Amino acid sequence: MSSDLNPLNELAQRFTRASVEIEGVYKHVLQAESRGNVLRSRPGCGSFFVFTLRGHAELFSGDAVFNLHPETVLHASQEKSLDIRTGPMDYEYCLVYYTYRDKRRMPPASPDTLIRIDTGVSSRLVDLLRKLHHVSGTPGPFSAFRAKELFYSILYEMFDGLRMKTNRENKSIMEQAIQFIHDRYREPLTLSELANLHGMRARDFSRLFLQYAGVRPTDFLVQRRMKRAEELLATSGWSVGEVARSVGYADTALFVKLFKQHTGFSPDAFMAASAERRTS
């Protein structure tokens, strides 16, 4: 990551900084249960995308293994040996080679970077690729213009599919996180522990939670505890210390401080007001 950008964000940023030239579009079909090289005797030059049109395959690059299917796209920044093994069905894929028109404006790309992009199912993306393959074989300036238009439409569809897929996944993660806090609020939860449950860094988890719930996860946890504390103080007859321990605070003084910040009352005053309401 440069600054706080991952390789996928860097790739998207590169497309905003310079226009591209389409160097070649090639469509291939590999038989089921076969092995080969995805580049098929170097048909193009420059960086390239591998789009799966149908079927499934495994792609090998050194020690890395990538699962390829119609919901994924692979990007490589240079020609390299990419061995492929197909599944029980024929595997059809499309290679799209491109170069940047003004390389002087572009920061150097990592030559060994392979980026897998999970786009989700998109029949429109497949349709655009088939059109691009057809147009790229037609000579003339209009065809070249149409090919570039289709290429940028493919990029938009690809990144938009990724965005929507990520949003769905993030929503699911946040709903799980909220339910976890709701159920386990009595436990000594920390931001790092909550983030680790979902394989995220604490900062990223907190930012995403804030976007989704409107409060940070630690504040949401306190709110859940205080809401339950209000119920117990009003109905249980327990002491302040017992209520504090019941909602996850071994330190009664900390509980009293947080409760007053949350409600504007001390726990004792809240209990007294609740008792008065019940008898009036």
Q: What is the pLDDT of residue 3?
A: 36
Domain-located, residue 173:
no
- Indicate whether 32 and 102 sit together in one domain: yes
Which tokens is 96 given? 């799209």
Query: Quick check: helix, strand or coil at residue 3?
Result: coil
Q: Give the end of a domain, one of 167, 197, 230.
A: 167
pTM of the model: 0.69
- Indicate whether 116 and 54 sit together in one domain: yes
41: buried, middle or exposed (CB in 10 Å: 19+, 13-18, 0-12)? exposed
User: Cβ neighbours of residue 162 under 8 Å, at least 6 residues apart?
Assistant: 8, 117, 118, 119, 120
pLDDT band, residue 1 (cuts 50/70/90): very low
Number of domain units in the chain: 2
Domain-located, residue 38:
yes
- Indicate whether 73 and 158 sit together in one domain: yes
- Indicate whether 218 and 251 sit together in one domain: yes
- Indicate whether 189 and 154 sit together in one domain: no
- Indicate whether 85 and 202 sit together in one domain: no
pLDDT at 128 over 80: yes
Q: What is the pLDDT of residue 181?
A: 96
Q: How far apart are CA 68 and CA 201, in angstroms?
A: 27
| More confident: 177 or 109 | 177
Domain-located, residue 176:
no
Domain-located, residue 180:
no
Q: Give the end of a domain, one of 112, 135, 167.
A: 167
Asked if 259 contacts 267 with a C-beta cutoff of 8 angstroms, the reply is: yes
Identity at 176, one-letter amino acid code: Q
Q: Give the end of a domain, one of 120, 135, 167.
A: 167
- CATH number, domain at 96? 2.60.120.280
Which tokens is 122 given? 């998109």
- Indicate whether 149 and 205 sit together in one domain: no
- Indicate whether 15 and 137 sit together in one domain: yes
Average pLDDT, the chain: 86
Determine the structural domain holding residue 201 and report its residue range.
185-280
Q: What is the pLDDT of residue 242?
A: 96
- Indicate whether 143 and 204 sit together in one domain: no
pLDDT at 214 over 90: yes
- CATH number, domain at 189? 1.10.10.60
Mean pLDDT in residue range 239-265: 95
- Indicate whether 196 and 161 sit together in one domain: no
Domain-located, residue 179:
no
Q: Specify the DSSP class assigned to residue 220.
A: H
Domain-located, residue 175:
no
Domain-located, residue 67:
yes
- Indicate whether 105 and 200 sit together in one domain: no
pLDDT at 196 over 60: yes
pLDDT at 15 over 90: no
Percent with pLDDT over 70 in the chain = 89
- Indicate whether 37 and 146 sit together in one domain: yes
Domain-located, residue 174:
no
pLDDT band, residue 107 (cuts 50/70/90): low
For 69-80, what is each residue's pLDDT tens digit? 988 899 887 656
Q: What is the pLDDT of residue 92?
A: 92
